[in-house]
Amino acid sequence: MMASCYHQQLHSTWGDFAEGLAKDNPEAFGKSQGPRQSWSAAEGEIELEWSIQLKSLSGPNAEQQATILLQRLQAETYISRLWIDPKEDGCRLFRGRYTDIFSPIAINELDQTRSIFLDGQQPFLDAQFIKPSAPIVAQSMDVRQLRGHYAYTLQVAVFDETHRNYGQAAQQEARRLRAEGHEAFYYHGNKMSMVTVGLFSDADRQPREAIDARGRRILMYYYGPRIKKLQETFPHNLVNGHVYHEPMGNGKRRPQASLLIPIQ
């Protein structure tokens, strides 16, 4: 019964949003992982603790080599949330951010990382938790700077090409929300710009078992308390500053709700 109550969809890319305007709002989706966080609105500093170090590289081509390795891991394994920490004399390839390295998620991701096979070998058997040298400082409100560190954010507005200076409009809205004390960001996509609030992880989703159309048991993930609480403040995904009424299957229309999207 539960599976029939929702149209299941995750906006896997920011560009998918335009097509998604004509579909039901998603509230269940597949797995990904992100960390817990604390936020200082005044300084824009996001305090993060531990990460899994896969590899440390040095030399003038270190960042290029790390990027090639990251892309290969993304293409050939199921490893997610990889990120590169550039240094003056090289760079390091990390996975994830964790406040508790003894949590089941952290332990599982470390074991998963160590068990990676490439070319018949396990090159990351020595992978371990370390503390990056400094916390991330959000130097702008562009949410793309947090790729690899956080999994999801709540989209609350979009400005498209029918709006004059839609990019500036999104930035102004993000600044307005930030001034009000909200954890607000913007993202400039293709012919549109989005405004989002909040940073979320798998801990903010609730797994439930359901039955699909073929009678198979499946595990779905639904918005947890923190996401629903934020939706009380931001119930809609506004389009050009106005509530967008999306079509439903029965011919009626309803206001489009704010929706969780991946940071990528």
Q: Look over the chain and give the mean of its residue pLDDT values, rounded to a whole number.
A: 78
pTM reported for the whole predicted model: 0.54
- Does the pLDDT at position 232 exceed 60? yes
Q: Which of 40-44, 62-66, 107-111, 231-235 holds the top average pLDDT?
A: 231-235
Residue entry with tokens 């439903």: 248
What is the arithmetic mean of pLDDT over 158-180? Answer: 91
pLDDT of residue 244: 92
Question: Each residue of 14-47: pLDDT tens digit?
Answer: 334 333 333 333 333 333 333 344 444 444 555 5
More confident residue, 116 or 148: 116
Give residues with Cβ within 8 angstroms of 100, minimum separation 6: 36, 106
122 and 173, same structural domain? no
102 and 205, same structural domain? no
pLDDT of residue 26: 38
pLDDT of residue 21: 34
233 and 189, same structural domain? yes
pLDDT of residue 170: 94
Helix (H, G, I), strand (E, B) or coil at 259: strand
Residue 86: is it exposed, middle or buried by C-beta count within 10 angstroms (0-12/13-18/19+)?
Answer: exposed
10 and 114, same structural domain? no
Q: How far apart are CA 194 and CA 188, in angstroms?
A: 6
What is the arithmetic mean of pLDDT over 50-61? Answer: 88
What is the domain range of residue 227? 2-41+138-262
Q: How far apart are CA 165 and CA 154, in angstroms?
A: 23
What is the arithmetic mean of pLDDT over 162-172? Answer: 90
Cα–chain-centroid distance for residue 6?
21
75 and 100, same structural domain? yes
Question: Each residue of 105-129: pLDDT tens digit?
Answer: 888 898 899 999 998 899 998 888 8
Residue entry with tokens 């996001």: 46
Q: How many domains would you assign to the chain?
A: 2
Domain boundary, last residue among 82, 105, 134: 134
255 and 149, same structural domain? yes
